[in-house]
Amino acid sequence: MADHPVKLSIVKPRFTELNNLISDKIGSRILFASDDWFAVAENLLKDADAEWREGVFTECGKWMDGWETRRKRIAGHDWCIIKLGIPGVIMGIDADTSFFTGNYVPFASLQAAVLTPEEEALIPPRTSRMGSEASQDEINQVAKLNSDKWQTLVAQTPLGAGYRDTCHNYIPVSSSQRWTHVRLNLYPDGGIARLKVFGFAKPDWDQVPDKTILDLASAENGGLCVAYSNAHYGHPRNLIGAGRGINMGDGWETARRLDRPAVLHADDKGILQVPGYEWALLKLGHVGSVSKIEIDTNHFKGNFPDSCWIEACLASPSSEVEDLTDSKMSWKCLLPPQKLRPHKEHYYDDEVQKLGCISHVKILMAPDGGISRVRLFGNIVKNTAKL
């Protein structure tokens, strides 16, 4: 029998609702690590929560789901270089030490840089292997990047042990610059289960030709989920993730609404007539005009929504979430209610209303369920000063 979730006095900062820029599912990579003795640095990038395997050992020691270096017996400290899956602005991090209780890293810091392909090529090819460490030749090669002099985003900060109430170390970042790579420093050694770097893409829109059609809501193009009604099984930021969803967990799924009627009825179009709905509010990467829409219920077979519709608005750049969710906010219909099907890509062209410039959309589904991806194809409008 399931227990109610344990309520801990942990309040997640607002920045944790942003996109994780170093998830392995968006192409982030470990380019260099000083040591991988107990567990390799690639584990930092896993999207799934860390797990514990009781009584499982490797030839190097206890099996751990994270990055854990050996107990250092030489001068210095451990560190790694990570390529962001989505280059962008970093607003905060979570250094998660889950299950590292007597072996967690006591202090950590984060630095960042913008590297050209030529600079990245200075880093020798990495072999991810437990029980290994970087050779002196590899260290000398990487030293040409002067990564120890990169911009400090998070100063040396104490971390908590990997217990449930102390494992998440949320640290804000105050920088508006776009970054491509980060350096995680461990002081001096130990283990971290996951590193999440929260932020958003910052494309160079001046390099995008006029009338180029792209997904305006995509995380890769600066899209963000800024509010939602329910995220019991999956966060709605997954709607704007790269590629198709890999499973139901890689989508937005709500709990079943308790106000759904005991007996369901449909209109002449087959759309169920229910009193409630769920919603997610997305900010586009750039103000633009949407002409085509894709709604993908991939993997959602017995739990897809009955119907979905989309509203849109053009808000001021200074608008806060409270402004956008205010009942006085003027929302217009971008896509009228559409009957959805399970495990299917739905494409809409003629159904899309021609609203002109918009900045935000609200995805609504009735009565509840799961959607894997939403794509809003259109072109950006660069001169919005007079809008």
Q: How many domains does the chain have?
A: 2
Whether residue 226 lies inside any domain: the answer is yes
Whether residue 9 lies inside any domain: the answer is no
Per-residue pLDDT of 24-57, as tens digits, reads: 999 999 999 999 999 999 999 999 999 999 999 9
Range of the domain at 149: 14-201
Does residue 60 sit in the same domain as residue 134?
yes
Does residue 147 sit in the same domain as residue 271?
no
Does residue 109 sit in the same domain as residue 256?
no
In Å, how far are 210, 337, 355 from 358, measured between CA atoms? 17, 19, 7
- Give the CATH number of the domain where residue 252 resides: 2.60.120.260
The span from the first CA to the last CA of the chain, in angstroms, equals: 55
Of 236, 338, 254, give the one whose Cα is nearest residue 293.
Answer: 338
Residue 4: the pLDDT is 64
Does residue 256 sit in the same domain as residue 173?
no
Q: Pick from 201, 216, 250: which residue ends a domain?
A: 201
Q: Pick from 173, 201, 229: which residue ends a domain?
A: 201
Does residue 24 sit in the same domain as residue 152?
yes
Whether residue 188 lies inside any domain: the answer is yes
237: CB partners within 8 A, 6+ apart: 17, 18, 19, 219, 224, 225
Whether residue 387 lies inside any domain: the answer is no
Q: What does the CA dihedral 335, 339, 344, 348 come to, rounded to 10 degrees?
A: -30
Does residue 225 sit in the same domain as residue 123?
no
Does residue 281 sit in the same domain as residue 191?
no
Does residue 179 sit in the same domain as residue 222?
no
Residues of the chain with pLDDT under 50: 385-387
Peptide bond into 5 cis (omega under 30): no
Whether pTM exceeds 0.85 = yes
CB contact at 8 A, 43 and 193 = yes
Does residue 160 sit in the same domain as residue 20?
yes
CB contact at 8 A, 42 and 127 = no
- Give the number of other Cβ atoms within 10 Å of residue 209's Cβ: 6
Residue 386: the pLDDT is 40
Whether residue 385 lies inside any domain: the answer is no
Whether residue 3 lies inside any domain: the answer is no
Counting Cβ atoms within 10 Å, is residue 155 exposed (0-12), middle (13-18) or buried (19+)? exposed
Q: Pick from 152, 168, 201: which residue ends a domain?
A: 201
Does residue 193 sit in the same domain as residue 217?
no
Whether residue 386 lies inside any domain: the answer is no
Whether residue 7 lies inside any domain: the answer is no
Counting Cβ atoms within 10 Å, is residue 7 exposed (0-12), middle (13-18) or buried (19+)? exposed
Does residue 256 sit in the same domain as residue 363?
yes
CB contact at 8 A, 189 and 77 = yes
- Measured CA to CA, the distance from residue 212 to residue 214 in angstroms comes to 6
Does residue 185 sit in the same domain as residue 257?
no
What's the alpha-carbon Rg for the chain, to the nearest Å? 23
